[in-house]
Amino acid sequence: MKPRRCLAISLMCVVSLFAEAPRGTVPRSAADRYPSHAEQNGIAIGVTLLTPDQARHAFASDVNRCCLVVEVALYPPKDVPLDISLNDFVLRVTGTDVATKPSGAKVLAAKLQKKNASPHDRDVTVSPTVGVGYESGPVFDPATGQRRGGGVYTSAGVGVGIGGPQPQPGSSDRDRNTMELELSEKGLPEGIAPAPVAGYLYFSLPATKDKKATHQLEYTLNGNKVVLALP
Amino acid sequence: MKCLRIFVLCLGIFLMGSARGQTTSSGTGQSQTPQTNSATSGQDTKAATDTSADALQDEHHHKFHVRLGTISVGAGYSHFSGPFFNPFWPYRFYPYGFYPYSFGYSPFFYDPFFYSPFYAPGYFRGFSYDEGRGQVKLTDAPKTAEVYLDGAYAGTANKLKTMWLDPGAYDLSVSAPGATPFHQRIYVLSGKSLKIAAKLSPQTTQEKQKTEEKQ
């Protein structure tokens, strides 16, 4: 085999090994297909806040325990690639100073990993048993080696079972890696985007007592802030 | 030089002989030691005592201890379900990451029937329940549809309605003749259940043409 062909094949192998899995979600046909959308300098953005039920269906990981999930789609103009950075996004509780930036998949996976019960926690089960019976005689008594007549006999005992704690679902390290992988693969991809892209942003906001509180997503684009109200 | 070689050879033979002698004495001296012990005195007595201690130790080493409490009798029954029982090529289970159809059949691929299960025990576990696994329920797929996991054939849909998989991300594909294949990336977590509705839609005319061209 020629050295050039050999080199090309080995290069293809290396590229296929390091090729990343596709990231994000499939963007809708246009930004106005999202409940909240805006356009600035030819760049369109569409966002939607996932309800807890939608998040439960979209993720195997229980993201409702840690954060609010916002689906974001960006549509750059033709021949003008867009540089996407997660630091350009902020989620704010409307009318307050409470705001946060998106969290990374690694941090969230650590939060979502359930802790197993302490190995010192033991499940002790005590089962007392009592028995009363009648035996018809005469029978051979193994204790005395003599024959004896039958009669009523009684017995009593206690059984003690000690068990370890059951592992919690989604508590192993492999689960944590899987959750991290899922959140990372479904997240909004960072970097240069020449075509429309979409993905999820995860915001770890502290729980508010006000159930009617609404949120707004702020996106800083070339120094200009775009505010999108999330229904 | 020749003398030196002869000297080394002799030395070697001597050392081997002495080593054999030691082995023989330690091996056979157990019953003779008490007699020697009674006949000697002074330093010899001390040496004899040490020897008897060694002999006792040796005796201890060779003693069999039968502990009735440790005897256990067990019986087991194992059930393998899934594609392992299908002996017809190419419907064999291949580990994830192996793509036999891309390269043609090769005897070097792992075959759980040919190799020992201890050779690669992870591949021999099938899709049965295990404590650290997650459940994947496949619904709406035709019975004869072929199920692929990470590109490897896993079985037919009617036999894989419920799969227990190790935690991780998998590429699930379900395909049937005359229908558009279903693809989904699934994330399996231990102790959790995942329901996948793999409803296959009939192929369009263009897709049919493409499939025919490929064939």
d(CA B164, CA B20): 61
| Residue of B135, B172, B187 to mutate when probing chain A, most A C-beta within 10 A | B187
Pairwise CA distance, residues B142 & B126, whole Å: 22
> What's phi and psi for B11, nearest 5 deg?
-60, -45
- Look at residues B174, B173, B78 and name the one whose alpha carbon lies nearest to residue B130: B78
Higher pLDDT, A10 or A206: A206
Per CB-CB distance under 8 Å, the chain B contacts of A105 are none
For chain A, say whether B97 makes contact (Cβ under 8 Å): no
State yes or no: pLDDT of A15 exceeds 50: no
pLDDT of residue B18: 45
End-to-end CA distance of chain B: 80
pLDDT of residue B210: 73
The reported pLDDT for the residue numbered A11 is: 52
> Residue A121: is its pLDDT beyond 60?
yes
CATH 2.60.40 fits A22-115+170-230, yes or no: yes
- Whole-angstrom distance, CA of residue A193 vs CA of residue A176: 29
Closest among B188, B210, B183 to B199, alpha carbons compared: B183
> A177: closest CA among A68, A60, A69?
A60
pLDDT score of B14: 52
The pLDDT > 90 percentage for chain A reads 47
Tokens of B141: 């797929």
Chain-wide mean pLDDT for chain B? Answer: 61
From residue A150, alpha-carbon distances to A135, A146, A190, B82 in Å are 5, 13, 87, 57
Predicted confidence (pLDDT) at residue A7 exceeds the cutoff of 80: no
Average pLDDT over chain A reads: 83
Domain assignments of chain B as residue spans, ordered by start:
83-205
Tell me the residue type at A194.
P
B168–A contact, CB cutoff 8 A: yes
- Can you point out the beta strands (E) in A142-214? 146-148, 151-163, 191-193, 197-203
- pTM beyond 0.80: no
**B contact residues 171-210, partner A, Cβ 8 Å cutoff:** 185-192, 194
pLDDT tens per residue across span A150-170: 677 778 888 877 776 677 777
Mean pLDDT of A81-89: 92
What's the CATH code, domain B83-205?
Answer: 2.60.40.1120
For B151-192, the pLDDT digits (tens) are 889 889 998 889 899 999 999 999 998 899 999 999 999 989
Q: What is the least distance, in Å, from the CA of A6 to any CA of chain B? A: 18
Residue A49 has pLDDT above 90, yes or no: yes
As a residue count, chain A comes to 231
Distances (CA, A) of B93 to B44, B74, B99, B147, B198: 73, 31, 11, 11, 21
Mutation target among A174, A185, A200 for the B interface, most CBs of B within 10 A: A174
Q: Please give the pLDDT value at position B47.
A: 36
DSSP codes of every residue in B157-172: TTT-SEEEE-SEEEEE
pLDDT tens digit sequence for B9-60: 555 555 544 444 343 333 333 333 333 333 333 333 333 334 333 444 444 4
CB contact under 8 A, B167 and A178: yes
Query: Average pLDDT, stretch B99-125?
Result: 40
Once rounded to an integer, what is the mean pLDDT over residues A192-215? 86
Domain locations along chain A? 22-115+170-230, 123-163
Q: List beta partners, residue B15.
A: none
Q: Which one is predicted more confidently, B59 or A59?
A: A59
- Cβ neighbours of B167 in A, within 8 Å: 172, 174-175, 177-178
Mean pLDDT (whole number) for A86-103: 91
For the stretch B66-85, pLDDT in tens is: 444 334 444 444 444 444 44
Q: Which alpha helices (DSSP H) does chain B contain, by range?
A: 2-28, 33-39, 43-61, 100-103, 205-214
What pLDDT, on a 0 to 100 scale, did the predictor assign at position B215? 65
* Rounded (to 5) percent helix, strand, coil in chain B: 35, 20, 45
What is the DSSP pairing of strand A89-93 with strand A139-141? unpaired
> Rounded to whole angstroms, how far apart are CA atoms B108 and A27?
43
Å between B186 CA and nearest CA of chain A: 8
A182/B169 touch (CB, cutoff 8 Å), yes or no: yes
| CB atoms B187 and A179 under 8 Å | yes
DSSP-derived secondary structure letter, B45: H
CA distances from B18 to A141, B14, B15, B25, B30 (A): 65, 6, 5, 11, 19
**List of residues 6+ apart from B103 with CB closer than 8 A:** none
ipTM over 0.90: no
Q: Are B199 and B179 in contact (CB under 8 A)?
A: no
Angstrom distance (rounded) from CA A28 to CA A132: 75
Q: What is the mean pLDDT of residues B123-146?
A: 82
Instruction: Decide if pLDDT at B102 tops 50.
Output: no
Edge-first strand listing for the sheet containing B162-165: B162-165, B134-139, B193-197
Nearest to B168 among A167, A178, A185 (CB): A178
Which runs of consecutive H residues, i.e. helices, occur in B29-141?
33-39, 43-61, 100-103
